[in-house]
Amino acid sequence: MAEQKKPKRKPGVCVPWEEKVKELKEIRADKELVQKVWEDIDGLGYVYIWQCLLSF
């Protein structure tokens, strides 16, 4: 799979953190926490649409 072209939107991601963080004011503390929670919940959106396609 290494030779596959990298997708525009990575697997597991709907709205990348890099895109979201630009909308936020300065994060004063614990940026990693904010990023992790964003990515965890964003991943649920990914699960939703791909499970709609594959399982339902």
Partner 1 sequence: MAKDMQQLYAERLKRYVTAMRNEKPDKIPIRPFVAEFTAKYAGFTCQQVTHDYEMAFVAARKCAADFDWDAIVANMVYVWTGLTQAIGTKYYGVPGIDVPPDTGFQYLEPPEEEAFMKPNEYDALIEDPTGFLFNIWLPRISADVNAMGEQTSYRNNLSFLKGGMAMLNYFNAFGTQVDLMRTESGTVSAISGILKSPFDIIADKLRGYLGLVTDLFERPDKVLAACEALMPHLLHVALSGADPDKNVPIGFWMHRGCVPFISQKHFDNFNWPTLKPIIEEIWRHGHQVLFYAEGSWDAHLDAFAELPDQAIVYHVDMGDIFEVHKVIGDKFCISGGIPNYLLSTGTPGEVRDYCKKVIDGVAGDGGYIMDASAIIQNDAKVENIKAMTDFTREYGVY
Applying the rule CB under 8 A, the residues between 22 and 41 that interact with partner 1 are none
User: Taking a C-beta distance cutoff of 8 angstroms, is the pair 13, 46 a contact?
Assistant: yes
Which residue number, 11 or 25, has a Cβ lying nearer to partner 1? 11
Q: Which of 44, 38, 47 is nearest to 16 (CA)?
A: 38
Instruction: Kindly tell me the number of DSSP H helices and DSSP E strands found in the chain.
Output: 2, 0
Which residue number, 10 or 22, has a Cβ lying nearer to partner 1? 10
Indicate which single residue of 4, 18, 28, 40 sits in contact with partner 1 (rule: CB under 8 A): 4
Instruction: Please give the residue ranges that form the binding site for partner 1 (CB under 8 A).
Output: 1, 4-5, 7-14, 44-56
